[in-house]
């Protein structure tokens, strides 16, 4: 697997993709008119994320849209940190500078600095920042892109600040308060160096929220309206609501829904995240699993254990699980997405 995270902050479930999320998510301030995370001087927003154990890797690629709302007054606040060894060791920091550049600190004691050109960011404009880092005591490397253009790199250096593990954590946060200025963040991705696809820069990435807009092949659960008719109407709210739901005690019962189409007609699909907001209402072990359906075939994911409290559950699909190839816009638009009752 290579694409590990696709975060647009638009669906009300970001807290279930992060391991620590303190949100001030602002409507209308995303790049495409949706939501953006606001990193302001009082440290209101933070997004801490960890990959699954199987996805820890010595190479991490991170991209995010950034918009400066207040220029930094100092050079010591970081906007991004990458960590390893049980998120105990900082391996890389990116710090906005007063001259409109970014400083990338890395290596033993974070004692080395890679500096980008000055004047990159100005107040009020979104740009897309990407960094690709390989951890190594001797042959490490860092590459930085800005709006798809390479702006800084270093190779054949010590990029490891101690420890022995691969990257296992990311922190996006405003630190040093007013020192770093105010920033909006949107359209975050993380990939690693593994997998057949998406193992290098994805480029300027936009993450679109698609909601149910019609019935799919399966309508086997009973809605909170008391029937099995138009079950998608119980699952199309944003943010999700526990007042509307579809439920069943029958193991193997499925619901699937057609979804909104992507608003773009050309481009590369770097992955799809399936998200559900679910709970159990009975004693004992209950699970659900999410699935994709298109071309008359189902592709289920792994089971998610449920609790009596509603929570978000997510599957990131780097490739189309039915074709085993990269997703296409056509297959995204034609697919149904759903969930299954499991014991």
Q: Give residue-wise pLDDT tens across range 231-285.
A: 999 999 999 999 999 999 999 999 999 999 999 999 999 999 999 999 999 889 9
To the nearest whole percent, how much of the chain has pLDDT over 90? 80
Distance of alpha carbon 81 from alpha carbon 92, whole angstroms: 6
Nearest to 221 by CA among 310, 342, 302: 342
The model's pTM is: 0.95
Q: 76 by DSSP, 3-state: which?
A: coil
Q: Higher confidence at residue 208 or residue 282? A: 208
Tokens 């990159």 belong to residue = 120
Q: How confident is the model at residue 43 (pLDDT cuts 50, 70, 90)?
A: low
Distance of alpha carbon 32 from alpha carbon 48, whole angstroms: 23
Distance of alpha carbon 223 from alpha carbon 215, whole angstroms: 13
Distance of alpha carbon 32 from alpha carbon 28, whole angstroms: 8
Q: How confident is the model at residue 42 (pLDDT cuts 50, 70, 90)?
A: low
In this predicted structure, the answer to whether residue 24 has a pLDDT above a threshold of 80 is: no
Nearest to 207 by CA among 300, 124, 275: 275
Written as six digits, the tokens of 124 are 């009020």
What is the per-residue pLDDT for 20?
A: 82
For residue 24, give the DSSP letter: -
Long-range contacts of 295-299 (CB under 8 A, 24+ apart): 295/322, 295/334, 297/322
Tokens 């040093």 belong to residue = 176
What average pLDDT does this structure show over 140-145? Answer: 98
């Amino acid at each position: 697997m290579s694409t590990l995270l696709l975060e647009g902050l638009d669906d009300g479930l970001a807290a279930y993709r992060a391991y620590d999320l303190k949100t001030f998510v602002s409507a209308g301030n995303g790049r495409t008119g949706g939501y953006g995370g606001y990193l302001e001087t009082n440290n209101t927003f933070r997004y801490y994320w960890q990959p699954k154990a199987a996805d820890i890797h010595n190479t991490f690629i991170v991209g995010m849209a950034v918009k400066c709302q207040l220029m930094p007054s100092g050079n010591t606040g970081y906007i991004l940190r990458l960590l390893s060894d049980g998120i105990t060791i900082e391996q890389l920091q990116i710090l906005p500078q007063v001259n409109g550049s970014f400083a990338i600190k890395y290596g033993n004691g974070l004692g080395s600095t890679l500096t980008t050109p000055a004047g990159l960011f100005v107040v009020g404009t979104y740009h897309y920042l990407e960094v690709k880092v390989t951890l190594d005591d001797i042959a490490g490397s860092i590459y930085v892109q800005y709006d798809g253009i390479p702006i800084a790199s270093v190779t054949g250096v010590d990029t490891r600040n101690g420890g022995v593990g691969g990257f296992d954590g990311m922190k996006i946060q405003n630190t040093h308060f007013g020192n770093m200025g105010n920033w909006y963040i949107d359209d975050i991705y993380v990939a690693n160096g593994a997998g057949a696809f998406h193992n290098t820069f994805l480029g300027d990435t936009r993450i679109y929220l698609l909601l149910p807009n019609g019935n799919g092949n399966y309508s086997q659960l009973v809605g909170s309206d008391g029937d099995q008719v138009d079950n998608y109407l119980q699952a199309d709210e944003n943010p999700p609501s526990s007042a509307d739901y579809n439920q069943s005690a029958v193991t193997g019962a499925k619901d699937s829904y057609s979804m909104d189409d992507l608003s773009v007609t050309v481009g590369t699909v770097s992955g799809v995240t399936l998200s559900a907001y679910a709970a159990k209402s009975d004693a004992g072990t209950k699970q659900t699993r999410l699935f994709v359906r298109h071309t008359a075939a189902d592709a289920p994911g792994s089971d998610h254990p449920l609790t009596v409290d509603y929570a978000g559950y997510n599957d990131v699909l780097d490739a189309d699980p039915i074709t085993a190839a990269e997703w296409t816009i056509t297959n995204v638009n034609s697919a149904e997405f759903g969930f299954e009752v499991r014991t």
